[in-house]
Amino acid sequence: MSTELEDNNVLKLSKTEAKELLQKWREENARHSEQVRDIWMNIDFGGSLGDEKWQVLEQVCVAAIDLHDNELIKECLQQLDNKFPNSCRVKRLKIMAKLELRERFEDALQMYDQMIAKDESNSLLYKRKIAILLAERRVAEAIKELCDYLKKFMNDTEAWLQLSDLYIEEQEYSRAAFCVEELILANPHNHLYHERYAAIQYTINTAESLELSRSYFSQALRLNPNNLRALYGLLLSANSVAALPKTTSQKKRENLRLANWASTQIQKLYREGSDDESRINAMEGMLANLQITPNST
């Protein structure tokens, strides 16, 4: 996940670079709160942000809430309040900062209910209510609320992802797989969804699901040949299918060939990424041991 800036200074960026970096983080949903705060405090944008200023302020406000930095929160909220006096979005930020941060969840829930009564079509409010339930670790209720929410707002990618994660937490893998299927239907060319579906199927660990996982890992690789997780997944799932008692010997050979191909690709990718011979040798040694044998109980 690390950008080159993880360890280096974000302070050395120019204004335009910082602005583009913030925009990139907004689009990727990255949560680099400390770095966002560093950028905001140390780089004086002046007027160069233009209309993006309000989005950046929102981003900085959320980062400040993440870091429990009360002065920065107050400063951001004041500026946003002056610009957008009766805005629901700003009000939501205020509730997040004042009530959710101090863990006054009941009050926050009440306020959200009031706001929902005024405007039922505002999806963000429902999601914050679900987030409060998650913060209180009431996972079963959160799942129920999220299902109701998804009946109303069916094409909300974030919510489907959250629901699939919650089901994984509860170990209901088939339902988690269903959620990711919805995502794949909506975005068939996103290799990450295929990879996640394949990972869930691999976890389910029945004969059909292992074959399914192998084909979805392959699809993820076809969409993005550099996806290392999908390569490892292909290696493991092909090995697992080959190790199943029911596979014919021809299928076994095919699967082992596939696993070999995957391991050569992995080695190639690692070689391109680093020159350190010792690490590469360690990795090759590990690959030789990556066989999952079925339990004989």
Partner 1 sequence: MSDLWYKYVIAMGLLSLLHSGYSAAQHRSYVRLVEQEFNGPPEDIVIQCVVSLLVTIAAIVSLNTKHFREIHALDDLKEKTIDSINNRPNFYIFNHRGRLCR
Binding residues for partner 1, per CB under 8 A?
1, 28-31, 33-34, 62, 65-69, 96, 100-101, 103, 124, 127-128, 130-132, 134-135, 158, 161-162, 189-193, 195-196, 223-224, 226, 229
Nearest distance in Å: CB 113, partner 1: 18
- Is 95 strand, coil or helix? helix
161 vs 280 by CB, closer to partner 1: 161
Nearest distance in Å: CB 71, partner 1: 11
In the structure encoding, which two tokens stand for residue 62, read together? 């959320």
184 vs 243 by CB, closer to partner 1: 184
- Is 78 strand, coil or helix? helix
Sequence-distant contacts of 252-259: CB under 8 A, at least 24 apart? 255/214, 258/214, 258/234, 259/234, 259/235
Helix 207-223 / helix 228-243 crossing angle, nearest 10 deg = 150
139 vs 256 by CB, closer to partner 1: 139
Nearest distance in Å: CB 260, partner 1: 25
Nearest distance in Å: CB 136, partner 1: 9
Helix 105-118 / helix 88-95 crossing angle, nearest 10 deg = 170
- Is 295 strand, coil or helix? coil
For 101, how many CA atoms within 13 A lie in the half-sphere containing its CB?
18
39 vs 241 by CB, closer to partner 1: 39
Nearest distance in Å: CB 187, partner 1: 9
